[in-house]
Amino acid sequence: GAVVSQHPSRVICKSGTSVKIECRSLDFQATTMFWYRQFPKQSLMLMATSNEGSKATYEQGVEKDKFLINHASLTLSTLTVTSAHPEDSSFYICSARSALAGGRTDTQYFGPGTRLTVL
């Protein structure tokens, strides 16, 4: 099956620093990747949609200058949380969409998530 990895799995940083999270599709090419944020005991909240080679599309209420997304290749997207603050502490999850040959299914394959803690 399609595998998506994230790195790091867990990061602790000081307030004011920037943190970069990588999302890779390991065995397929992903023209579209999604970034989600999940707070404890809540559902996933879509932050942005990232298409390879173009600017990301951010959901309403998500600051694009704070959450920088770069989708430089068909297998890699990065999310950088700039000037992180304690309220940015959350579980960040990426997904990659795989369009199967011969049809469109929009199936997403999710990474294992990155736990960010800002002190």
Partner 1 sequence: DAKTTQPNSMESNEEEPVHLPCNHSTISGTDYIHWYRQLPSQGPEYVIHGLTSNVNNRMASLAIAEDRKSSTLILHRATLRDAAVYYCILSANTNAGKSTFGDGTTLTVKP
Nearer to partner 1, 45 or 82 (CB): 45
CA distances from 57 to 71, 78, 95, 112 (A): 12, 14, 15, 22
Strands 114-118, 90-98: parallel, antiparallel or unpaired by DSSP? Answer: antiparallel
Task: Report the candidate in 9, 95, 87 with the shortest Cα–Cα distance to residue 47.
Answer: 95
Chosen residue from 4, 11, 30, 56 binding partner 1 by CB under 8 A: 4
How many angstroms separate the CA atoms of 119 and 116, rounded? Answer: 10
Which of 13-21, 66-74, 79-87, 92-100 is the region at the interface with partner 1 (rule: CB under 8 A)?
92-100
44 binds partner 1 (CB under 8 A): yes
95 binds partner 1 (CB under 8 A): yes
Binding-site ranges for partner 1 (CB under 8 A): 1, 4, 6, 32, 34, 36, 43-46, 49, 51, 91, 93, 95, 97, 105-113, 115
